[in-house]
């Protein structure tokens, strides 16, 4: 979800600071964002994929209120 959100928000990957060596969650998020950037995923496509991913999670786990 993080990578889709970063692309959809129009944030520039080139300006991103690479996470530290021991920041494993940060590295995972950064790598996913880089993957989508390298694939030239558009902001509109990223928004669509983000919504699809959230809908799939809601369908699988439901919502607690």
Q: Which of 43, 40, 38, 55 is nearest to 4 (CA)?
A: 43
pLDDT tens digits, 17-62 = 999 999 999 999 999 999 999 999 999 999 999 999 999 999 999 9
Task: Assess contact for 51 and 4: CB atoms under 8 A.
Answer: no
Q: Is residue 65 part of a domain?
A: no
Q: How many CA atoms lie within 13 Å of 1's alpha carbon, on the beta-carbon side?
A: 7
Q: Is residue 25 part of a domain?
A: yes
Q: Is residue 52 part of a domain?
A: yes
pLDDT tens digits, 9-23 = 999 999 999 999 999
Record the pTM.
0.81
Give the number of domains in the chain.
Answer: 1
Print the domain residue range for 14.
2-60
Distances (CA, A) of 28 to 15, 25, 33: 17, 5, 9
């Amino acid at each position: 979800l993080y990578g889709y959100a970063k692309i959809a928000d129009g944030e520039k990957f080139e300006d991103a600071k690479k996470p530290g060596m021991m920041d494993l969650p940060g590295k995972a998020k950064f790598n996913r964002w880089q993957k989508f950037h390298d694939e030239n995923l558009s902001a509109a496509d990223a928004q669509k994929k983000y919504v699809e991913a959230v809908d799939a999670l809601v369908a699988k786990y439901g919502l607690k209120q």
